[in-house]
Structure 1
């Protein structure tokens, strides 16, 4: 994320907009203090996280996921096996 001053932003606005269109975020500052952020239109709003599910179909969770290694864990901690 680059920081540019207001004068540079006014002089090179079309370049900064092209960078934003390619996915970059540019912060515009006044006297070194950030005052605005130029982001692509499809970027998540500040404070929001991106949608879950981007790895859907990439792998499968085993059906016994909740009990995997239960005997080993019980042995390590001196408890009773859960299976």
Structure 2
């Protein structure tokens, strides 16, 4: 669908819904097309995307650091 800028300003919500449903929405200045509304793909956030892909021991963040790591963390040598 092609609409003028005036119509687009008046019916922006409806035009966004049309673009989200896959319809091509073009905004024209007079009869000259100048802008196309395009939906941005929405991908759901997925927790655990690397589950089962990481091997080896993992750090236990609740355990105290050993002396060497603590010294390095505090800026010592």
Determine whether 1:3 maps to 2:2: yes
The higher relative CO (CA closer than 8 Å, separation ≥ 6) is in 2
DSSP 3-state at the match of 2:15: helix
Aligned residue for 2:34? 35
DSSP 3-state at the match of 1:23: coil
Shift of residue 41 of structure 1? Answer: 1.4
Q: Which 5+ residue runs of structure 1 have no aligned equivalent?
A: 43-83
Shift of residue 37 of structure 1? Answer: 0.2
Equivalent residue runs for 1:1-83 within 5 Å: 2-42=1-41
Shift of residue 34 of structure 1? Answer: 0.5
Shift of residue 24 of structure 1? Answer: 1.1
Tell me, in whole angstroms, the C-alpha distance in 2 between the residues paired with 1:14 and 1:36: 16
Number of residues of Structure 1 aligned to a counterpart in Structure 2: 41
Shift of residue 12 of structure 1? Answer: 0.1
Structure number with greater Rg is 2
CA contact (8 A) 1:24 1:40 kept: no
